[in-house]
Structure 1
Amino acid sequence: MAKPLDVDEIWTHRIIQSINGLEYGMVQIVVHDGRIVQIERTERKRFESDHAASGKGTPRKPEKTNDFKKPNVYRTTGDFL
């Protein structure tokens, strides 16, 4: 049986930092033996299609990120996000 995942405030803060400001991409959380050991962030930049072919495109401006809400953390079951 898998060990319940315990997410403390430090890891919660690290996860939020990894997600904050991410417009396109993904965040992967690596767990070993019931403990978070690594967070991987892959970010993608998307360019306007009319300028992308010439290489002169500019990245889209990200929308407001100040409205990010802290994810719910359930310490009893180990399920989060």
Structure 2
Amino acid sequence: MKCKTKKIEMKVPMNCQKCQQKAFKIIAEADGVTFLGLREERDIVVVIGQGVDACNLAKSLRKKFKTTDIITVADV
């Protein structure tokens, strides 16, 4: 069975450039991530990839940022 490509939007409290780099590093190391970007709000991270687990990704980010909210998970 082929995994579908998913678009995940998460709210991550990033106050500075260093925080943003840490968040991007955590997300980039996740399995299946093919695209990573920010929305205009600057604390909304957009992740696109095949077989990306939104819950595990949020859990990894919460270890570093304390609060991470999953906004949407949609098939692309």
Q: Same fold (TM over 0.5)?
A: no
Task: Tell me the TM-score normalized by structure 2.
Answer: 0.36
Structure showing greater radius of gyration is 1
Task: Tell me the TM-score normalized by structure 1.
Answer: 0.34
The structure with higher relative contact order (CA 8 Å, sep 6+) is 2
